[in-house]
Amino acid sequence: MDFLDLARTRWSVRDYDARPVEQEKIDRILEAARLAPTGANRQPQRLFVLKSDEALATVRSATRMAFNAPLVILVCAKVDEAWHNKRETVMRGTTCDMYNVAEMDASIVCDHMQLAATELGLGTLWVRGYDTQALLDAFDLPEGVVPMCLLDVGYPSETARPASLHFERKPLEETVVVM
């Protein structure tokens, strides 16, 4: 699929079919994650693939945003492994001490997975509307591994439709400056 067609095909799915995601598709999604660029190639991402009934029940106990997805990828980063500035920088008056790119790295990984899933005919939802502590309490994550977002994945239910926000994109003149 042409890239812009792929980007146009994706929409946030919040109601899923019970059909499980095939293992070959999960493997392709994870390979797309593996190929993602990260700052200084540190690859700090840590992905937890939640697909057992137990793991899905656990994530649903921590957030409503997993909806009824048959697969949820908990995207984390080992923050200390990510590239960071060696010294203090000042951005428009705000001091950023040792700015760390872990969240950017995790976002790129998640975006690769979201688009790979779209190409495979799957629906997805990128989720950040959860309480981090609730997720940390629910999962016994390794030391220093911090949740960055969730990616719900599955086949959209027959009645699932894009929300109205999907159709609202600002014109380029509002978000782009050409110099």
Ligand X SMILES: Cc1cc2nc3c(=O)[nH]c(=O)nc-3n(C[C@H](O)[C@H](O)[C@H](O)COP(=O)(O)O)c2cc1C
Q: Where on the chain is the footprint of ligand X (CB under 6 A)?
A: 11-12, 14, 65, 125-129, 162-163, 165-166
Tell me how far, at minimum, the Cβ of 14 lies from ligand X, in Å: 6
CB atoms within 10 A of CB 147: 23
Tell me how far, at minimum, the Cβ of 44 lies from ligand X, in Å: 18
- Nearer to ligand X by C-beta: 21 or 66? 66
Tell me how far, at minimum, the Cβ of 104 lies from ligand X, in Å: 12
- Nearer to ligand X by C-beta: 140 or 168? 168
C-alpha to C-alpha distance for 118 and 138, rounded to whole angstroms? 28
- Nearer to ligand X by C-beta: 64 or 86? 64
CB atoms within 10 A of CB 54: 8
How do the residues of the chain divide into helix, strand and coil, expressed in percent and rounded to 5?
40, 20, 40
Tokens in use for 4? 């812009």
